[in-house]
Structure 1
Amino acid sequence: MFLGYFVTITLTILLFVPVLVFVAECGLALLLPSENTDPSGTTDHPRTAILIPAHNEASVITRTLSSLLPQLTPQDQILVVADNCSDNTAEVARRMGVQVLERENDHLRGKGYALDYGMQWLKKNPPEVVVILDADCLVSPNALPEISDLVKKTGRPVQATYLMEYHSHPTPKETVSRLALLIKNLVRPLGLAKLKLPCLLTGSGMGFPWSVLSEISLAGNKTADDMQLSVDLALAGYPAVYCPQARVIGRLMEDKAAISQRKRWEHGHLEMIMTETPRLFLAAIAQKRLDLLALTLELSVPPLSLLMMIWMSILGVGVWLAVVHNIWMPFLILAIQGLLIVLTVFLAWAKFGRDQIAKENLLAIPLYILWKIPIYLKFLSKPQTRWLTTERD
């Protein structure tokens, strides 16, 4: 019994780290006033290349390019890399008047290889700034100059607010997924930005100084290539800056494609927690860098649904200790943690998601957590460690 108590209290105390990081980040976004991060008037607009990897995106790329073209200056360019396409993505993009490269390689597949192919072409006439955008994303007005101007102003990578749109009649489960992504990609980075701390890159709407991005290789097919890039650049002295006013809206997949997409995201995140948080933490101590320590803590927070699963699992043991052995300390600590998480999620929804997510859909959160259980169990038996494209519905 003593061993059970010791293990439970140890896990309970360890769980406080991601819980408090999550609560603190969201709390800062909720409580502190936002600063004006608009870089307009502080820099000359840099010559920018928008690099778009595209795999079978003929049905959506016209919309993406239409949202981008009005934001270009005469010195900017768009480069679409049609990667291993079996449709007419390249033809559709060319009709929009942009530069298109076609790449065919059955052995080296994935977003990273497509990006590297485009970077090699850009070396002929390097831009000052490279903005990476997925081919199915809508870009809000003025987002492109906001990203590229902030890159030039700071000399660091910049991440826009990357959110997802849904079809016209989303299920409650899909609506909860939207809330989880809103908290991950908007609320938490906003909290970090208010303390001038770095954020993680999220895969689309990312801007980079050419001098920085051209020194690293993007070729690869890891599931969490954006997180890995965040870590590598931070360790090199270039932690990412969050640009909240620039919005990039992607599209969440449906049905089986949604499960595949989520599996790639979640497994990649878990892989990064296991492999990169120790590396970041040791570097933060060795270099005495607060920004690396903040990034370590940010990366250590598991996906919200998994955090709740871990909490509920330990809570079950805590209830057993309280009821059977009259040992209440673990249960009381866990109850406080659960209250903090639930209250934080509710307040984040009230401030940032009330206009998009009906309050009755919050009741579907337990179902959403249950839906995610097979994804995490699959990580234990057969983790997805390589990037696989998510086919269109």
Structure 2
Amino acid sequence: MGESGCERGRLRKGCALIAVLLTVCTVGLVISGLYGVYQVAVSIRFGGKLPTLPDAEGPAHKFAVLVFARNEEVVIGQLLNSLNDQDYPSDAFQVFVTADNCTDRTAEIAREAGAVVYERSSGGPAGKGAALTWFFQEHFPEGFDACVVFDADNVVDPGYLAAMNRQLAAGNPIAVGYRMGKNPSSSWVAGANTIFWLMQSRFIHLPRAMWNLPCTTVGGTGFMFSLSVLGNNGWQTSSACEDIEFTLKAIANGWHVAFAEDALFFDEQPLTFSQSLIQRYRWSVGTVQLVRTAVPQLLASVRRGQLSAMDGALYIIGVTVGGLSSILWLASVVLGLASGAGVANTLVTLLVGTVVGYLVLLAFSLLVVRLERARWTGMSKAVLGFPVWLFAWSIINVVVLFYRDPTWHIVNHTENLSLAESAQLSSLPGRTS
């Protein structure tokens, strides 16, 4: 009897503990759900249309076009050709190429195309953030009004600089361009990555512009900033995501980040799933790194009366919230089984939830490409694979909560496509010149 009573007592205590843990999981999931509701509420204006900015009056702003390249001899020529063909006064911009520890003909090709080339051969930190810091320390572009930043694998629409000139004339010191995949037909992964960038433009940048909120990331390439944003401090970032860090620092300091949807450029996307995983892992690592540093800065800005900075703070915790919610969901499933839920019923519920989730994301990816009127060969494979692509990212967001390696891994670029070829592959009615 004594042992039986002890067993019953332990059972009651175990059940009580499971109930408490389930409650904790439920509360956590509700909080993460509210976070999702906020993001949906911000994105609800995805169907809006930004007013067309008038042509800039007065002298054209002078742009320093910054290109950062490491062993990009295969693709950099096409980028430089597209920059040389800009519908913008040739004396109002200069291309600067940083050949970052290159061992190929990148620097030679850039010089032949008329770019000013600086060769970085130090054994310092790898990555574009380090290269940007080095450039502004060693070769600050005196005499220019603003900078635009590109990766060597990009190609640029002829109207890009004119569009960014209109942003500066309208008083916007930082602006994000409209990014399209250069090679969406190369693989379903490249197509899925392209859908992601279209989604970012439609559901993240555009709604914030409609709400007059600053865009929360400049996206790493295809962005513009006035040199007044840097002041005398140069470029100062240290995380694995120099683009987001720069953006959030600017927002915390009171600068507005606009969306220049008429500043079109094309960006090469990873060809393989493993390349995409490596790239997105680094993005998630950098995002988690920034929670500790960027959130206090943004909240301090909110306390000074800049309420729009709160959106930036909520944006940067997204990876952390997503990773924690996945853990809480998995824990609730395990606890449910421990509390007596049938294995068969649980498996059926998981299967149904997986199918429904896949179909919802599939419908969302179809909505994105339809709204953007994007078409390319093999797009159906990308649309079908996009839910799987996103699910893999949710796993990455769990991993980075426990293991973060900020090492910059080089992704080789091989798609030597001209602007005309990229525009033909990626049909965007009304956007290509």
Shorter-chain TM-score bucket reads: 0.7 to 0.9
Name the counterpart of 2:26: 9
Q: Which amino acid aligns with 2:368?
A: A
Note if 1:266 corresponds to 2:284.
yes
Q: Which amino acid aligns with 1:67?
A: S
Q: Which amino acid aligns with 2:198?
A: L
CA 1:78–1:221 in structure 2 vs 1: closer, same or farther (change >3 Å)? same
Note if 1:348 corresponds to 2:376.
no
Name the counterpart of 2:403: 382
Name the counterpart of 1:67: 82
CA 1:20–1:354 in structure 2 vs 1: closer, same or farther (change >3 Å)? farther
Name the counterpart of 1:192: 208
Name the counterpart of 1:50: 65
Q: Which amino acid aligns with 1:78?
A: V
Name the counterpart of 1:328: none
CA distance in 2, matches of 1:352, 1:319: 42
**Stretch of structure 1 that moved more, 103-112 or 91-100:** 103-112
Q: Which amino acid aligns with 2:370?
A: A
Q: Is the 8 A contact 1:131 1:205 kept in 2?
A: yes
Deviation at 1:349, TM superposition (A): 4.1
User: What does the per-residue CA deviation read over 1:103-135, in whole Å, with 9 as the maximum and x for residues that have no partner?
Assistant: 110124331232234334554632011111111
Instruction: Specify the structure having the higher radius of gyration (Cα).
Output: 2
**Stretch of structure 1 that moved more, 280-289 or 46-55:** 280-289
Q: Is the 8 A contact 2:66 2:148 kept in 1?
A: yes
Q: Is the 8 A contact 2:25 2:328 kept in 1?
A: no
Alignment RMSD, CA only? Answer: 3.6
Normalising by structure 1, we get a TM-score of: 0.83
Note if 1:101 corresponds to 2:121.
no
Q: Which amino acid aligns with 1:384?
A: D
Q: Which amino acid aligns with 1:266?
A: S
Name the counterpart of 1:300: 317
Name the counterpart of 2:427: none
User: What does the per-residue CA deviation read over 1:190-214, in whole Å, with 9 as the maximum and x for residues that have no partner?
Assistant: 1110111100211111211122224
Q: Is the 8 A contact 2:182 2:266 kept in 1?
A: yes
CA distance in 2, matches of 1:363, 1:92: 39
CA distance in 1, matches of 2:93, 2:321: 39
CA distance in 2, matches of 1:12, 1:374: 17
Name the counterpart of 2:424: none
Q: Which amino acid aligns with 2:289?
A: E
User: Residues 102-181 of structure 1: matches in 2 within 5 Å?
Assistant: 102-120=119-137, 122-123=139-140, 125-166=142-183, 168-171=185-188, 173-181=189-197
- What is the total number of aligned residue pairs between the two structures? 382
Q: Which amino acid aligns with 1:258?
A: S
Q: 2:389 aligns with which of 349, 363, 368?
A: 368
CA distance in 2, matches of 1:301, 1:124: 35
Residue segments in structure 2 that go unaligned for 5+ positions in a row: 1-17, 343-349, 415-433
Q: Is the 8 A contact 1:128 1:209 kept in 2?
A: yes
Name the counterpart of 1:76: 93
CA distance in 1, matches of 2:323, 2:54: 37
Residue segments in structure 1 that go unaligned for 5+ positions in a row: 326-330
CA 1:270–1:211 in structure 2 vs 1: closer, same or farther (change >3 Å)? same
Q: Which amino acid aligns with 2:208?
A: L
Q: Is the 8 A contact 1:231 1:276 kept in 2?
A: no
Normalising by structure 2, we get a TM-score of: 0.76
User: What does the per-residue CA deviation read over 1:291-315, in whole Å, with 9 as the maximum and x for residues that have no partner?
Assistant: 2012222333339986995686477
CA distance in 2, matches of 1:364, 1:185: 20
**Stretch of structure 1 that moved more, 70-79 or 15-24:** 15-24
Q: Is the 8 A contact 1:58 1:89 kept in 2?
A: yes
